[in-house]
């Protein structure tokens, strides 16, 4: 875990472009992917429509895909809500230098949060935590006092928090962010807009409200799986990327693949090209930010990538 520090923006000074490291392109970081050893009970959410995901997905599977796409590192995100998952991902990260960070899980509602995190002291690749809020029956789960208290404690522990929700949870997420002004928060998958049915108006309104909290960042990930898996096109998703850039700006967005989940709709390279092609005509400093610089600053990954 790293010492607490708010996320720097625009290379540390508002309005200034991030550093290009002496003219060199910043390292590219996939800000959201998963690993697992498939078990039917632990991954029961992988139904018959996703049966291609019913196998192991490990670093040896991802690394060649990541390198071929021109990326240097990734941040691995929990898929199981167990402490063993966090330990396992950190062990993978220790053995594979391209895994620059881990967003793990602990029970944020429990009164022994510090005790749960104690075994991970010194594990600098633990950069954040996540709870699978989208699966909770209470649409206002984020606002439960015990959960708010746990997430608030992450500020002084130097850990960010990933918000995983569906659009119906976004009003609660807006209030959640307003109550946690000092925390580093990250919205996964742009809040999973209902792209299949073309729903945008209410989602756009909630995105704008969430982005008004300047300490919230967002991942450009998971869009291909919210669209029609077989018929989606970059042109059809462009409007959703437009909203993201309009609301958050390039200084608060990060590219992510959501591999291997993305494979139900596109291969790894095509998934990332959705964003890299969209940004092709944008200034170099904006591309550097979204494609890796923002992730490096949010989670302080530069030292891990260089290790």
Residue 206 pLDDT more than 80?
A: yes
**Structure confidence at residue 15 (pLDDT):** 35
Sequence spans of domains, the chain: 28-306
**Structure confidence at residue 65 (pLDDT):** 98
**Structure confidence at residue 1 (pLDDT):** 60
The domain 28-306: what is its CATH number?
Answer: 3.20.20.140
Mean pLDDT taken over the chain: 92
Residue 215 pLDDT more than 60?
A: yes
Q: What is the mean pLDDT of residues 190-218?
A: 97
Question: Among 148, 205, 206, which residue's Cα sits nearest to residue 182?
Answer: 148
Q: For tokens 């959201």, name the residue.
A: 32
**Structure confidence at residue 79 (pLDDT):** 98
Question: Among 169, 160, 175, which residue's Cα sits nearest to residue 77?
Answer: 160
Other CB atoms closer than 10 Å to residue 28's CB: what's the count? 22
Residue 242 pLDDT more than 90?
A: yes
Q: What is the mean pLDDT of residues 123-147?
A: 97
Q: What is the mean pLDDT of residues 223-244?
A: 98
User: What would the pLDDT profile of 277-303 be if each residue is shown by its tens digit?
Assistant: 999 999 999 999 999 999 999 999 976
In sequence order, what are the residues at sequence separation of 6 or more whose Cβ sits closer than 8 angstroms to the Cβ of residue 240?
190, 193, 195, 200, 223
Residue 3 pLDDT more than 50?
A: no
Torsion, CA 143, CA 147, CA 153, CA 157, rounded to 10: -120
Q: What is the mean pLDDT of residues 102-120?
A: 95
Q: What is the mean pLDDT of residues 193-197?
A: 96
pTM score of the predicted model: 0.91
What whole-number percentage of the chain has pLDDT above 70? 90
Exposed / middle / buried, residue 87 (Cβ in 10 Å: 0-12, 13-18, 19+): middle
């Amino acid at each position: 875990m790293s010492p607490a520090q708010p996320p720097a923006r625009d290379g540390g000074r508002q309005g200034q472009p991030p550093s290009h490291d002496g003219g060199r392109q910043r390292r590219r970081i996939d800000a959201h992917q998963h690993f697992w050893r498939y078990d039917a009970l632990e991954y029961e959410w992988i139904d018959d429509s996703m049966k291609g995901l019913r196998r192991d997905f490990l670093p040896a599977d991802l690394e060649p895909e990541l390198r071929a796409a021109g990326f240097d590192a990734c941040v691995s995100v929990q898929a199981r809500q167990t402490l063993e998952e966090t330990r396992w991902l950190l062990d993978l990260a220790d053995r594979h230098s391209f895994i620059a960070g881990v967003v793990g899980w602990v029970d944020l509602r429990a009164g022994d949060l510090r005790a749960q995190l104690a075994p991970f002291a010194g594990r600098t690749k633990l950069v954040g935590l996540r709870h699978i809020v989208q699966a909770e029956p209470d649409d206002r789960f984020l606002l439960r006092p015990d959960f708010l208290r746990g997430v608030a404690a992450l500020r002084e522990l130097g850990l960010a928090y990933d918000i995983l929700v569906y659009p119906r949870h976004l009003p609660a997420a807006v209030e959640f962010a307003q109550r946690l002004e000092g925390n580093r928060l990250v919205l996964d998958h742009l809040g999973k807009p209902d792209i299949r049915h073309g729903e945008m108006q209410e989602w756009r309104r909630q995105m704008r409200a969430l982005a008004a909290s300047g300490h919230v960042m967002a991942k450009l990930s998971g869009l291909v799986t919210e669209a029609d898996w077989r018929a989606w096109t970059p042109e059809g998703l462009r409007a959703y990327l437009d909203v993201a850039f309009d609301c958050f700006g390039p200084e608060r967005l990060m590219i992510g693949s959501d591999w291997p989940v993305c494979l139900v709709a596109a291969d790894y390279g095509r998934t990332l090209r959705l964003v890299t092609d969209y940004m092709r005509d944008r200034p170099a400093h904006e591309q550097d930010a979204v494609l890796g610089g923002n992730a490096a600053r949010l989670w302080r990954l530069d030292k891990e990538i260089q290790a």
